[in-house]
Amino acid sequence: MNIVLIILNLILTSCSAGPVKPVNMTIRPGEVRWIEFPVAKDKSKLLCRGQEIKITRNGNKAQAVVIESYFSDLSPFQCKVEADGTETYAIAFSVEEREYKSELLKVSPKKIKLSPKDEKRAFEEQQVLNKIYASSAPELQFKNPFMHPMQSVVTSVYGTRRVYNKSKKGQHLGIDYRAAIGDKVPAANAGKVVFADDLFYTGWTVIIDHGLDIYTVYGHLSQTLVKASETVAQGQIIGLSGNTGRSSGPHLHWGVKVQGQYIDGFVLIDETKKYFHE
């Protein structure tokens, strides 16, 4: 990786005024890529699909996360680094197909066809969450790769297509871990608690901001053990597993939200292992 960065820096400082040749990468719907790239000046910024992405700097290189929505239309896209309006580095992403599993679930009819009261509650809660997800810390809050929030059997993987009570269809954009009521739930990485309260869909829930628009969500808890604005360490117990909210049985629902999209937490774990070491 260091050799690649040295070569790229030499290219950036050369006299050539030709267009930047992009590096090629692949990504699939619901996935995240942790990228590292050279930055020529302090004013360098990263643009993906025309939108600026938060970056973290370390000398003459920077890091950022790039995601592809679960609902992707598989269109290729580019990310480019600009400094004072000049493109200095580029990555061309091709988007490959990804197959997801399907499953049938039975839950309380009240959780499927919402009453006007429940519908109002769910809507108002989503407005609160939208504000939270738009206010991530500008710098990374962690130094280690992400870890699994539980060392237990995974009962439902990310992206599973679900049919509730043989009628309501949806997608499970998180990961479910087998857990009994009261099992300890640790934080998957260091960060700041931005939410610890009861929600209609995920019950008692803790949300942690890890910086750079990366959040982890811990749902269906029987109890929360932290409060909003509290800083937590990786592995710190933040709650106890349960069966609250729209749940068909005791378990932990773990969600990972990056740049406003739920992505596969397993991929985030693998990607951060490439650049962070415990």
Please, what are the averages of pLDDT over each run of 10 residues along the chain (278 residues)?
44 50 95 92 86 90 95 96 90 95 69 84 96 94 96 92 66 94 98 97 97 97 98 98 92 97 97 86
Residues 147 and 85 in one domain: no
Quote the pLDDT of residue 204: 98
Which pTM value belongs to this model? 0.87
Nearest residue to 134 via CA among 267, 268, 261: 261
Residues 156 and 256 in one domain: yes
Percentages helix, strand, coil for the chain, rounded to the nearest 5? Answer: 15, 40, 45
Residues 123 and 201 in one domain: yes
Strand ranges for 74-213 from DSSP E: 77-83, 86-95, 102-105, 154-156, 160-164, 168-172, 175-178, 184-186, 191-199, 203-209
Residues 41 and 157 in one domain: no
Q: Residue 8's domain is classified under what CATH number?
A: 2.60.40.10
The encoded tokens of residue 118 equal 């429940």
Residues 252 and 124 in one domain: yes
User: Chain centroid to CA 36: how far?
Assistant: 18
Residues 190 and 135 in one domain: yes
Quote the pLDDT of residue 7: 40
Pairing mode of beta strands 175-178, 251-258:
antiparallel
The encoded tokens of residue 274 equal 């490439």
278 within a domain of the structure (yes/no): no
Quote the pLDDT of residue 11: 43
Quote the pLDDT of residue 215: 98
**Cα 22 from Cα 39, distance rounded (Å):** 15
Residues 262 and 140 in one domain: yes
Residues 19 and 156 in one domain: no
Residue 148, domain extent: 102-273
Residues 121 and 250 in one domain: yes
Domain count, the chain: 2
With 0-12 / 13-18 / 19 or more C-beta atoms within 10 angstroms meaning exposed / middle / buried, residue 216 is buried
